[in-house]
Each structure stands twice: as C-alpha cells, then as structure tokens.
Amino acid sequence: MIYGAISGGLYALLALGFTLIYGVSGLVNLAHGSFYMLGTYMFVFFGTFGFFVPDPMLASILALIVAVIVVGAVASITYRLTIHPVIGDEVAVLVVTVCLAIIFQQLMLLWFGASFPRVSWPAGSVLLESTSIMGVTLEYSRIFAFVFSLVLFASLLVFVTKTKIGKAMRAVSQDREVAMLMGINTERLYMLTMFLSAVLAALAGILITTSIEKFAGPWLWLQPLALSFSIVILGGLGSIKGSLLGGFIIAFAEKTVEIMVPEGGGIVGVVPLAVIIVVLIVRPKGLFGKRVEMEE
C-alpha cells in the first residue's frame, strides 16, 4: 500500500506535465515520455560532471537542477522549431511528436550506447538508507521522492491558480482567441508550458529512476508514455486534480495486481491500460473530464 502511494505521487507528477500541455494548447505530446528519458540521462551525465563541489550529495542535487532545466530548454526549443509549424493539425502533431521521440531515443543511443546506466543517488548519502514505517521497510529515497512530488504538486496548484502566468494559462485553455485579444502572448505561453511540462516529466523521471527503477535506458520512454496516457485519460484530459487521483488509482491497481497475480511479472504493465479501457467504457470523458477547460 505504501509503495503504491509513493509511486502514485510520482506517476501523477509524470501525468501532470502531459495534462498541462494538453490543457493549454490542445497538444497530444507523444514525446512526453522521451522527456522523462532525457531527464534521467541528463541526470546521469551531469552527475558524473561533478560541478567542482566536494559533497557528492550536493553535486547530485545540482545535477538534478541543471538536468531538469536543460530538458526544459530542449523541449521548448524543439517545440518552437518542430511542433509550432504544424500545430492545429492533429495528425501532423502526432507524426511530429513521434518523430521527436524516436530522434531523442536514437540520440541517446548514439551518445550513451545501448547500455542501461545505473541511476541512483551517490554512495554514502542518507537517501540510500532505509527505515521502517508500520512494519514496511522504506528507503529514504522513496520517501524523499514522495514528499518532493507532493510539494511540487501543491506549488503547481498555487502557481496555476494564483500567479499571473497561471491565470494566463487557464485563460488560454478556456478560449485561445479571446485570451489573445486580452493581450496574452500565446506563443510565449505555449513555450513556457512546454518548458514546465518537460521539467515535470524530467523530474518525475529522475525521481522514479532513483527510487524505484534504478536504471535508465534509451527505450524507457514508451512505458512512461503509456502510463501518463492512462493516468491522464483516467483523470480526464486537462484536469490537474484528475491526474493526481488517476496517478494514485493506477499505482494502487498495479500494486494490487502485483500481489494478487504472483506469476505475472509482465502483466503489470498492462494494468494501467486495462483500467483505462474499463473506465472509458463506463465514463467516456474520464473521471474528472470536462470539455476543454482546466479546472483550478
């Protein structure tokens, strides 16, 4: 149960970026999973870099920050160069984002080879130790990831509801043309949202790999992509609360299946997808889905 809760928070973080960019610009970003993958790779890369800081823990936190910012920058630049010219045509956007995902995968293959680098916090850090809560052994890294994801979530909610940019985002998601008339620079806003969503994906990537998966790999964009899909569909596209709830539901469902079906290691990946199909048959718009607007 506790493991489920932890991965739930992280999954929600992953899906949040996806739902954010969809809510604001109506873009179904199939390259979202590759930002997750890029995030982990950049973390590995900057982790070896060191930043001339004596404390390895501080260095890896610096690496996390730099990696996340780099991924965000890459995302907004690619958005401007590739997705922007075709936006408004659904199929073209799908093709372009798929191409982007494959390009990132191949770039990482060329750069790091077909190996699976180990991703974790530096040796000797307090995050690698574990404690026991209510009889369950928990690593500090998982607790850290969980708390971090919740804090991020809360701050994002505040950001979207309270700040000027957040209000602009909601305005654009409600009606793009009117928002433009009100003097919002929608192009810049789209790029900003892309940046934010990629940052969230990269953060989720780093947190999930350091606490649960432990490895990075060039093909690791598909699984997160499917995951964020199912969460977002479950919660309703463009709904922030929905993606939080969806993340927890999917994570609990996964853990339940893991416990109940002992021989089915491979079947766990199916769970999110099966859940969404059931949900969609019952409620075609998702649990919290609205037409277009992003709630709160």
Q: Which residues sit at the interface with another protein, rule CB under 8 A?
A: 22, 28, 82, 85-92, 94-96, 98-100, 102-103, 106-107, 109-110, 222, 226, 229-230, 232-233, 237, 263-264, 266-267, 269-270, 273-274, 276-277, 280-281, 284-286
Nearer to another protein, 145 or 232 (CB): 232
* β partners of residue 137: 132
Q: How far is the CB of 128 from another protein (least distance, A)?
A: 32
Token pair 């793009």 in the structure block, residue: 176
* β partners of residue 215: 118
Asked if residue 254 lies in contact with residue 4, where contact means CB atoms within 8 angstroms, the answer is yes
Nearer to another protein, 39 or 286 (CB): 286
Nearer to another protein, 104 or 121 (CB): 104
Return all residues near 147 (Cβ < 8 A) that are at least 6 apart.
none
Return all residues near 107 (Cβ < 8 A) that are at least 6 apart.
none
Distance CA 160, CA 294 (A): 10
Distance CA 191, CA 78 (A): 10
CA 250 to chain centre: 14
Q: How far is the CB of 241 from another protein (least distance, A)?
A: 18
Q: How far is the CB of 150 from another protein (least distance, A)?
A: 26
What are the CA-CA distances from residue 151 to residues 10, 67, 125, 134, 191 (Å)? 11, 19, 22, 23, 24
DSSP code at position 214: -
Nearer to another protein, 91 or 134 (CB): 91
Nearer to another protein, 90 or 129 (CB): 90
Q: 111-117: list long-range contacts, CB under 8 Å, 24+ apart.
A: 111/41, 112/41, 112/44, 112/218, 114/218, 116/215, 116/216, 116/217, 117/41, 117/44, 117/215, 117/216
Question: Sign of dihedral through CA atoms 109, 227, 14, 229?
Answer: positive
Asked if residue 232 lies in contact with residue 137, where contact means CB atoms within 8 angstroms, the answer is no
What are the CA-CA distances from residue 268 to residues 204, 220, 244 (Å)? 20, 16, 20
Q: How far is the CB of 227 from another protein (least distance, A)?
A: 11
Nearer to another protein, 85 or 124 (CB): 85
Nearer to another protein, 124 or 264 (CB): 264
Rounded to a whole number of angstroms, the distance between the first and last alpha carbons of the chain is 29
Nearer to another protein, 145 or 231 (CB): 231
